Structure formats: C-alpha cells, structure tokens
Amino acid sequence: MLNEDNAEKPVKLIERKLAYKGKVITVYDDYVDVGGHKTHWDFIHHMGAAAVLPVLPDGRILMVRQYRHALGRYTLELPAGKRDSEDESFEVCAMRELEEETGYKTDHLDFLLYVNTTIAFLDEKIGIYVADNLQKGQVHWDTDEELGVEPWELDDLKKLIYEGKMTDGKTVAAIMTYAAKYHK
C-alpha cells in the first residue's frame, strides 16, 4: 500500500540519446526527471520476440540446446526468436521460430503468457505459446546458429529448474505456467 512517503512520483523523459544500434538491440542514454530529481538511466530497446513450448503427442516437450555467448555455455531452452519487425505479430513469429529451430510446424498455437525479461533497463516483451498437433516441417537455422533439438519430460524440466540448472527466464516462466495450467 502506498502512503505519502512512498507515493508514485511523476516521471518525465527529458532527453533520449542514441548510444548504440546493433542488429538485436538499440541502447539509449535517457535523461529523466523523477519528481524534481534529474537523473540518467540506461535504456535498451528490443523489438520483442516469441517463444514456443512444443508438445509432442506423447506429452514430451521439445527443447533446443544452443550456445549462449553471454553466459559462455550451452543452455537448454524453448525455441524462440525476435520478431522481424515491430508490426509482426507474436503469433506469426512463434510459428516461424517453431519450424526454423525444431523442424516442426503446427496449425494451432495456444497463448500461454507474456514475459518482460529485464524490466529495470530493457523493454523486451516475449509472447509465449503452446504448440501441439505438431507436423514435420523443415529446420531453417540461421547461419550463426547450431541447435540440438531434444524431447524432455515435463517433470525432468521442472527438476532442472528446482536444481538451478535451467535459468533462462522465458523458459522457466513458460514451463512453470504450462505445468500449472495444463497439469493440475
């Protein structure tokens, strides 16, 4: 509950300066007035992404294993990727990423949740879907991707989360939400 001492203060963007533009993110220096106090914040813009939790007919979940440079290791995570444009729907992106990364496609996605990955300085929003009724398609890995596709039991994925071995935020959120929603 808010009181006068911790009430929401008005926040006003004074100036935004481009610091860096990459192929995935754009970094800005934001100068902000927070209730009369001028400060500097870093802000990273990302056009958004989609992820898919693909469920095989036997109930196993298809996961991708790939190298993540920022962590310096391979990770096990859901198939996912960034939207091609600000106008691309999360669902269209999810359909594309499912086939590109796993070699499977579907004619039906069920919306699961949205996740904002790092709200302190990044506006990335990921739309996450469940895909079933999978049919064989064709992988289309990007030239800088080399993925392993692995089927996993839900309970084994949850165990990895509980042991701290799976830490990718979108994947953890999706698996736990899927388990709560579909496996009560």
pLDDT one-digit tens code per residue, 52-105: 999 999 999 999 999 999 999 999 999 999 999 999 999 999 999 999 999 999
Can you identify the CATH homologous superfamily of domain 49-116+125-182?
Nucleoside Triphosphate Pyrophosphohydrolase (3.90.79.10)
Q: What are phi and psi of 44, to 5 degrees?
A: -115, 125
Six-digit token string for 182: 């579909």
Q: What is the pLDDT of residue 145?
A: 61
Per residue in 13-35, pLDDT (tens digit) is 999 999 999 999 999 999 999 99
Q: What is the pLDDT of residue 8?
A: 84
Tell me the C-alpha distance between 168 and 102, whole Å: 18
120-143 residue pLDDT tens: 999 999 999 999 999 988 776 666
Is 8 considered catalytic here?
no
The pLDDT value given to residue 174: 98
Sign of CA dihedral 64, 65, 66, 68: positive
Cα distance between residue 87 and residue 93, in whole Å: 11
Choose among 149, 170, 150, 20: nearest CA to 81: 170
Token pair listed for 101: 């990364």
Q: Is the pLDDT of residue 1 over 60?
A: no
Catalytic residue among 88, 91, 97, 145: 145
SS3 state of residue 151: strand
Contact yes or no for 67/146 (Cβ under 8 A):
yes
Has residue 2 got a pLDDT over 60? no
Per-residue pLDDT at 138: 76
How is residue 122 annotated by DSSP? B
Q: Where are the domains of the chain?
A: 4-45, 49-116+125-182
Whether 184 has a pLDDT exceeding 90, the answer reads no
Tell me the pTM: 0.89
